[in-house]
Amino acid sequence: MTDHQLAGLTPTGTISQPADRRRVVFATIVGTTVEWYDYFLYAATAGLVFTDLVFAPAGKEFAATLAFLTVGISFLFRPLGAFLAGHFGDKYGRRVVLMVTLVLMGAATALIGLLPTYAAIGMASPILLITLRILQGVSAGGEWGGAALLAVEHAPKSRRGAFGAAPQIGVPLGLLLSSGVLAIMTWIAPGDAFMTWGWRIPFLLSIFLVVLGYWVRRRVEESPVFTELAERKEEAKAPIAQLFRRHAIVVIVAAFVLVANQSVGYMTTGGFIQRYATNPDGPLGLPVGEVLWAVTASAVTWLLFTLLGGFLSDKIGRRRRFIIGWILLLAAVAVAVAFPLVNTGNVGLLFLGLALLTVGLGLTYGPLSALFAETFPASVRFSGVSIAYAIGAILGGAFAPTIAEGLVQATGTTWAVTGYLAITVLLSLTASLLIRDRTGIPLGHDNEAAQNERILYGRR
């Protein structure tokens, strides 16, 4: 076997051709970008649009809280999506689940773009909006695990971090795309026109993005790890039951690894910064378009550091990469760089504050796919990574914008938000210290006995 062939070995020992690997990377990037474009589009418009058009009868302050709660309520249904995707993904494969989640998310997003306002249909408007948001939550709960595993399980073991960063950059790309399209629409349809019809166009564009994502994903081969399990008829019969019987503690620890990334990241992806900075009754009252462009630019720095985090984890190990990332993120949060810069009321300094946060965010998000894939055994891997991610998203990101909004209203300052974020970073740092570094561990079914052992410090 040549050196070139050895470099292309998949976790199962079969040879993966460069063209196949490029197709997998492209498919995971496109698919997750579409998914997160849809998801973040709602989060951004929750405070900017739905506060006034759907929840206004509740009163100004309470309407904003309700809008942010709808951002969080979808997280409560992520575990349902994760359980369903994990069960079917471990039984029938990663690829089919990814096709279903993509279509479900796109359909829900397009329907939000057609939603009548409260003035048109009364209470039916918020009820329909919440229903569609729940469908988005179910889809998001199943999407990430499948995309992460498809990328990592196709990768040579020496490049899992780099391959695993592919679905991760779908998050900043989704934020960049959603914020960018909204910013363009505030220019095309300024003022009342944006509130009347301009906000709907980005939601309806999801139809075309989903068609593109579906076409790309159809051309991708199934994960070699699952193919091996299927050929041997060794798919888990009840993967979720097996997961919790043997690895319940591992699921919880892995979930806490994600908490800080979600809580800090959802300051922008959850729409809190956008609402806080543009609220005409708030301390800043910045132009909506300018703030959206600043968020869009910070998504670029997030993307770059996410890629860097994945690549570096192949060089120095996943666990060490996470610890460094958390320390940098804690420094950015604890020194309170972000909110004092936001509170200057200068859009350029607002961008700088957000960009500084993206350093730690990217370095702890890029290696996540590889870390989670190497943490769980092959037969229950889809269930493990999906459920751990869903729980971490609830604990960290679900109500982070609502908590931040409540803290600002209760204290009149953003210092309480800084303290809250610092606590979440310390929790994730602690969880990262508990997980053993298993960088490069064989992922195939033949090594499942080793995969089941020595996952956490203090446990076998």
Judge contact between 428 and 326, C-beta under 8 A: yes
16-25, 127-136, 200-209, 341-350: which range is least confident on average? 16-25
pLDDT in tens, 313-369: 999 988 888 999 899 888 777 545 677 888 888 888 888 888 888 888 899 999 999
Tell me whether residue 127 is in a domain.
Answer: yes
Q: What is the CATH number of the domain that holds 353?
A: 1.20.1250.20
Report yes or no on 10 lying in a domain: no
Q: Is it the case that residue 212 has pLDDT exceeding 90?
A: no
| 395 within domain boundaries | yes
Asked whether residue 202 carries a pLDDT value surpassing 90, the answer given is yes
Tell me the angle at which helices 170-188 and 347-365 cross, rounded to the nearest 10 degrees: 160
Judged by average pLDDT, the poorest of 332-341, 392-401, 424-433 is: 332-341
Report which of residues 423 and 63 the model is more confident about: 423
How many folded domains does the chain comprise? 1
Q: Would 274 be classed as within a structural domain? A: yes
Residue 412 lies in a domain: yes
- 408 touches 276 (CB < 8 A): yes
Cβ(174)–Cβ(32) below 8 Å: yes
The closest alpha carbon to 404, from 396, 393, 416, belongs to 416
Mean pLDDT calculated for residue range 17-24: 71
Whole-number Cα distances in Å, 124 to 116, 117, 121, 130, 258: 9, 9, 6, 10, 35
What pLDDT, on a 0 to 100 scale, did the predictor assign at position 105?
Answer: 84
Tokens of 23: 């197709």
> Residue 235: what pLDDT?
52
145-159 in b/e form (b: 16+ CB < 10 A) is bbbbbbbbbbbbbeb
Range of the domain at 312: 16-219+237-451
pLDDT tens-digit series, residues 138-193:
887 777 777 888 888 888 888 899 899 988 888 888 888 888 898 899 899 988 89
pLDDT band at 15 (very low <50, low <70, confident <90, very high): very low
Q: Is pLDDT of 3 > 50?
A: no
pLDDT score at 458? 52
Binning pLDDT at 50, 70 and 90, where does residue 424 land? very high
Fill in the DSSP letter of residue 439. T
pLDDT score recorded for residue 334: 56
Helix runs in 335-399, H state only:
338-342, 347-365, 368-375, 381-393
Whether 230 has a pLDDT exceeding 80, the answer reads no
Mean pLDDT, the chain, rounded, equals: 82
pLDDT band, very low/low/confident/very high, at 14 (cuts 50, 70, 90): very low
pLDDT greater than 60 at residue 425: yes
pLDDT band at 128 (very low <50, low <70, confident <90, very high): very high
| Each residue's pLDDT tens digit, 23-49 | 788 888 887 888 788 877 887 787 778
Domain membership flag for residue 294: yes
Instruction: Write out pLDDT tens, residues 54-85.
Output: 887 766 667 767 776 777 777 788 888 887 87
In a domain, 264, yes or no: yes
Place of tokens 């009840």: 238
Q: What number of other Cβ atoms are within 10 A of residue 178's Cβ?
A: 30
* Residues 374, 418: Cα–Cα separation, whole Å: 32
For residue 315, is it within any domain? yes
Q: Give the pTM.
A: 0.80
Query: What is the average per-residue pLDDT within 271-295?
Result: 82
Distance, CA of 79 to CA of 138 (rounded, Å) = 7
